[in-house]
Structure 1
C-alpha cells in the first residue's frame, strides 16, 4: 500500500449506544484504497456495529462517519461498495446467472457476467438454482454478488465459512487480485490464519475501542512466545514447570511447548531426551498475538 493512499471510508470518534450498552466508544478507523484491513476482536467488540455505520445501516450517536467523503446514507456512495455478510437471504428458485444479472442491474458499470463468474470461481454454477447449491457453493455465489458491481470498497464478513480448503484458497487469490486492482477490503474472520495470510493491516477491537493496530508482523512482535513441536517422551506436566515454559501438552504423538526462551528450553529438552525427533520451531502467529492482546486487556479491566 502506498504511504499516502486515499482514504475511502472513516470513523472519527464514533459512538454508538444500544440502550445501556456502548457498542462503540469514540472509535477512530480509516480505510485506504488498495488496502486489505482485517478487523478482529472478541464477540461484542464492536466489529459489526462499525461496519453497520460504514454501510449506512445505522447512524452514529456521536462522531463522524464518511464513505468516499460522503454520508454513508447517500445512494451514490453506497453504489461504490460491495458487501458479503455472514448470511444472505436470496431468491432460492433463481439460477445463479439470474441472481448475478439482477444484482448487476443495480450498478452503473458492473463487471461482465463471465468475468465475475471466473473471478469468483463459479463458472460451473451459473445454470444451477441457488437453492440446489451446497453451503460452500452458496458462499462463493455471495462473493460473486459482492464484487459484480466493481466495488471500490468491499466488506467481507466471515467470507470462507462453509468452504473447503480448495475453495478457500481460490477465494484468497481472488481477494488479492481485487486489492491489487486498487479495491479496499475490510475482512472480519474467526480464521486468524486467513487474516494472517491476507491482511496488510490488522485492527483489534475490544469494548468498542481500538486495542491494537498495525501490520501482522508488528502484532506478532508483541508476543515473545515461540512454539516448539516434536516427538518426545518427556512429561508435559513436568515441562510446564520449567523456567521459560508457558505451557506444554501432548497432542497424540506430538509434544507442543510454548516458550519465551526457545534456545535454553530446546537445549534442556535435548539433554533430557536425546531421542527427541521431528523437531519444529516456529515464532508466534497472529492467533497467539490476538489471544495475548485480548487476555491482557481483560486482565487490565479486572485490575482496574
Structure 2
C-alpha cells in the first residue's frame, strides 16, 4: 500500500456502544483511493457498525469519523459514494430500468445507462420488475445501482450472495475495473476465497478491535503450518505421531498432513515410502489464517 495515497475515509479512535455492548472499541482505520479493503471478522466483530459510521447512519460515541475529510452526513460527500448493503427495500412497482434511471438522477454526473448495465451484467433484466427477480439477479441490480453514480468509495456488503459462479466471476471483474480506475472499495464477505481473490488489504476485526491489517500474504504468513497432500500407503495414525506433525488423516485416497516443518516432514515421507506419488505442499490459505487469528483472540479474551 502506498502510504502517501489519498485518504478517502477513516476512523480514528472510534467508539460505539449499544447499551452495555461495545460494538467498536477505539478503532483506527484509513481507506485509500484505488484500494480494495476486505473487512473480515466473526459475527459481532464490528463490521456493520464500522460501515454504518462511515455512511453516517449512526454516530460514534467517541473518536473521529470522516468521509472525504468532512462529516459522513455531509450531502456532497455522500454523493461520492456507492452502497450495496445486504438488505435492500425497493419500490415494488418499478422495472430494473426505472430503478436505475431513478438512482442515476440522484448523482451530478452518473455513468451512462449502457455502461452501468454492462458493468453489472443486467442487460437482460431491464424490462422486468425488480420484485420478480431471483435473489442473485436482485444482487446484480443492487450492484448496478451502487456503481451508477461513479462512486469514489464503494461499500459492498456480501455482494455475491445468491449469485451463481458465472455471475460472481463477472462481478469480480467489474470490481477490479473500478479499483483500477481509482475507486476505493470496502468489501465484507463470508466467502474468504472472494477476499483472497480481490483484496489488496485485509482488515480483521473481533469484538470491536482490529486484530490484523495488511496484505493477504502478510496475513497468511502469521500461520506457520503448511498442508501436505500425497498418495501413499503409509498409516495416517503413525504419521500423526511423527515429530512436528500437527495432524494426519485420510481423505478420498489421499494422506493429508499439517505441519510447521514441511521440508523435514516431506523428506521423511519420501524416505518412508519411495512409491509416494502426487505430492503437494500448500501454504496456509486465508481461511486458515483467519480462523487462527480469531481463535487466538477469543482465547486471549476468555483468559483475561
Measured against the shorter chain, the TM-score band is over 0.9
Tell me which residue corresponds to 1:146: 146
TM (norm. structure 1) is 0.95
Offset of residue 206 of structure 1: 1.2
**Aligned residue runs from structure 1 range 31-42, under 5 A:** 31-42=31-42
Q: Is residue 61 of structure 2 the alignment partner of residue 61 of structure 1? A: yes
Query: Following TM superposition, by how much is the alpha carbon of 1:173 offset from its aligned partner in structure 2, in angstroms?
Result: 0.7
In the alignment, which residue of structure 2 is the partner of 1:253?
A: 253
**Residue 185 of structure 1: aligned partner:** 185
1:70 is matched with which residue? 70
How many equivalent residue pairs? 304
State how far apart, in whole Å, the 1-side matches of 2:250 and 2:91 are. 49
Q: How does 1:275-294 map to 2 (within 5 A)?
A: 275-294=275-294
Distance 1:273 1:133 in 2: 56
Please state how far the C-alpha of 1:263 moved relative to its aligned partner: 1.6
Q: Which runs of 4+ in 1 moved over 4 A?
A: none
Where 2:162 maps in the other structure, the secondary structure is coil
Which blocks of at least 5 consecutive residues in structure 2 are unaligned?
Answer: none
1:211-222 matched pairs, under 5 angstroms: 211-222=211-222
TM-score w.r.t. the length of structure 2 is 0.95
Secondary structure in structure 1 of the residue aligned to 2:249: strand
Please give the alpha-carbon distance, in whole angstroms, between the structure 2 residues aligned to 1:248 and 1:97. Answer: 55
Q: Which moved more, 1:99-108 or 1:226-235?
A: 226-235
Partner of 2:116: 116
Q: Distance in 1 between matches of 2:116 and 2:247?
A: 48
Cα gap change, 1:279 to 1:145, in 2 (>3 Å): same
CA distance in 1, matches of 2:137, 2:237: 45
Aligned counterparts of 1:88 and 1:299: Cα–Cα separation in 2:
36
Shift of 1:18: 0.5
Please name the residue that 1:26 is paired with: 26
Query: Residue by residue, what CA displacement relative to the aligned partner does 1:122-156 show, whole Å, maximum 9, x if unpaired?
Result: 11221222222222111111111110111110000
- Match in the other structure for 1:85: 85
| Deviation of 1:26 (Å) | 0.5
Residue 299 of structure 1 aligns to a residue in which SS?
helix
Per-residue CA distance 1:260-279 (angstroms, 9 max, x = gap): 11122122223333443322
Call closer, same or farther: CA 1:254–1:139 in 2, change over 3 Å: farther
Matches within 5 A, 1:196-275: 196-275=196-275
Structure 1: tracts of 5 or more residues without a match: none
Change in 2 beyond 3 A, CA 1:138/1:272: same
How far is the alpha carbon of 1:212 from its aligned partner?
0.9
Distance 2:232 2:92 in 1: 54
- Report the secondary structure of 1:101's partner residue: helix
Q: SS of the counterpart of 1:58?
A: coil
SS at match of 2:234: coil
- Structural RMSD (CA): 1.5
In 2: Cα distance, 1:39 partner to 1:77 partner: 22
Aligned runs of 1:166-181 on 2, under 5 Å?
Answer: 166-181=166-181
Q: Secondary structure at the match of 1:297?
A: helix
CA distance in 2, matches of 1:232, 1:138: 48
